[in-house]
Structure 1
Amino acid sequence: MTEATKIEKTNTLAKDLFLANLGLAGKVFEQSQDLLKQTEAKLKETEGKVKDTYSKRNELFDSLIARGEKVQSSTVSKFEESKTELTGKIESSKSQVVTKFNDTKAQAIAKFEELKSESNAAVEGQMKTLRESFDKVKGKVSGSKTEATEATAEVSAS
């Protein structure tokens, strides 16, 4: 092998190495472009999922707010119904107690008046009996006075 063939082979080898490196650089560039495209696609897909999740989060949050408002409204409504029902029962019980009290009061007053009348009648009867007894005693005392005066006059005359 001659020196010129060696140099030519070396030049060819160097040229082939240069072209291989250039081909490698092109291949790396193409693969990096594909990888970049895949990464961008995955990034867009992930962004879509994030936006979808964010959107669903807002929908879930809004639905929870709506549910909370319904629960609050229902609770307030039931509380008001219970309050109204309880107030009605209290008023009814109060009315019954007042009626019962007034009936008992009326009965007590009537019984008092009855006892008062009976007591007054008994006192009047006792007073009448005492007056009659007093009149009898008075009559006897008056009669005795007349008799005593007559007896004294007789004794004085004799």
Structure 2
Amino acid sequence: MTEASKIEKASAIAKDVFLANLGLAGKVFEQSQDLLKQTEAKLKETESKYKDAYSKRNELFDSLVARGEKVQSDTLTKFEESKTQLTSKIESSKSQVVVKFNDTKAQAIAKFEELKSESNAAVEGQMKTLRANFDKVKGKVSGSSDEVVEAVAEATAS
């Protein structure tokens, strides 16, 4: 092999290496362009998801606020209903207690009056018996005192 053919061969190899490097650079450039396009697409997709999530965050927050207002309203309504029912039950129980108290009071007064009448009748009966016995004793004492007076008179006369 001659020197010129060696140079020509080396020149061809160098040219092929240069072209291979140039092809590699082209391939890297194309792949980086594809990668850039994919990255831009993913960035846009991510940005879209972010915006969607951000808008949904506001929707979610607003729906939670609306739900909270509904829960509060329902709770207040149920509280008022329970309060009304409880007040009604208390008033009903109060009325029943008052009626029972008045009935018991009336029964107690009637029983007291009955016992008072019975007691007065018993006392009157006892008083009549005592008066009768007193009259008997008085009669005997009066009779005895007359006898005593006569006995004393006789004794003094003799």
Question: What is residue 44 of structure 1 aligned with on the other side?
Answer: 44
Look up the equivalent residue of 2:45 and give its one-letter code.
Answer: E
Q: Residue 80 of structure 1 aligns with which residue? A: 80
Match of 1:118 in 2: 118
Change (3 A) 1:17 1:140: closer
Identity of paired residues, percent? 84
Distance in 2, matches of 1:131 and 1:74, equals: 83
CA distance in 2, matches of 1:109, 1:137: 40
Runs of 5+ in structure 1 lacking a partner? none
Instruction: Give runs of aligned pairs for residues 134-145 of structure 1, distance below 5 A.
Output: 134-145=134-145
TM-score by length of 1: 0.75
**Which digits, 9 at most, give the CA deviation of each residue in 1:50-103, with x for residues without a partner?**
221232244234323422332233233213312321232122112211220122
Q: How does 1:1-158 map onto structure 2 within 5 Å?
A: 14=14, 18=18, 21-22=21-22, 24-158=24-158
CA apart distance, 1:48 = 0.4
Displacement after TM superposition at 1:37 (Å)? 2.5
Tell me the amino acid that sits aligned with residue 76 of structure 2.
V
Question: Which secondary structure does the structure 2 equivalent of 1:135 belong to?
Answer: helix
Farther off after superposition, 63-72 or 139-148? 63-72
- TM-score, normalised to structure 2, is 0.75
Q: Which runs of 5+ in 2 are unaligned?
A: none
